[in-house]
Amino acid sequence: MGTTFVAKVFVAEPRPASLAAAEQTPAWQSRSPAWLVSLLLHMLLVVVLGYRVAPPQKGTATPQQTQLLASLETAQQDSQPFADAAEDATEVASAPAMGLASGGPASVQDVFDEAPLDASSALPSSEPASLPAGEGLGAASGTAGMTQGGSGRPGNVGGMARTSVYGVVGEGQTFVYVFDRSGSMGGGGDSPLAAAKAQLLASLEDLGPTHRFQIIFYNQDPTIMKIPPGGASLAFANEQNKLIARQFVASITATGGTEHEAALTLALKLRPDVVFFLTDADEPAMTPVQLARIARLNGGRTSIHTIEFGVGPPARRHNFLRQLAQDNAGQYVYVDVTRANAVR
pLDDT at residue 25, rounded to an integer: 52
Displacement of CA 233 from its chain's centroid (Å):
31
Domain holding 247: CATH number? 3.40.50.410
Does residue 312 belong to any structural domain of this protein?
yes
Amino acid at 11: V
- How far apart are the C-alpha atoms of 177 and 267, rounded to whole Å? 8
pLDDT at residue 132, rounded to an integer: 34
Does residue 4 belong to any structural domain of this protein?
no
Burial 253-268 (b: 16+ CB within 10 A, else e): ebeeebbbbebbebbb
Does residue 230 belong to any structural domain of this protein?
yes
pLDDT at residue 157, rounded to an integer: 56
Range of the domain at 265: 167-342
The two most distant CA atoms of the chain are separated, in Å, by 203
Does residue 128 belong to any structural domain of this protein?
no
Does residue 2 belong to any structural domain of this protein?
no
Torsion region of 128: left, alpha or beta (phi above 0 gives left; psi -120 to 50 gives alpha): beta
Tens digit of each residue's pLDDT, the chain (344 residues):
454 444 444 444 555 554 444 445 555 455 556 777 788 887 888 777 776 655 544 444 444 444 434 444 444 444 454 445 444 444 433 434 344 344 444 443 443 344 444 434 434 333 333 333 333 322 222 323 322 333 345 656 558 999 999 999 999 999 999 999 999 999 766 789 999 999 999 999 999 999 999 999 999 999 999 998 778 899 999 999 999 999 999 999 999 999 999 999 999 999 999 999 999 987 889 999 999 999 999 999 999 999 999 989 888 888 999 999 999 999 999 999 888 554 44
Number of separate domains in the chain: 1
Contact of 263 with 216, CB cutoff 8 Å = yes
pLDDT at residue 332, rounded to an integer: 97
Does residue 315 belong to any structural domain of this protein?
yes
User: What residues does 306 pair with on adjacent strands?
Assistant: 277, 332
Q: What is the DSSP string of 174-230?
A: EEEEEEE-SGGG-SSTTSHHHHHHHHHHHHHTT--TTSEEEEEEESSSEEE--BTTT
Does residue 14 belong to any structural domain of this protein?
no
Does residue 38 belong to any structural domain of this protein?
no
pLDDT at residue 27, rounded to an integer: 52
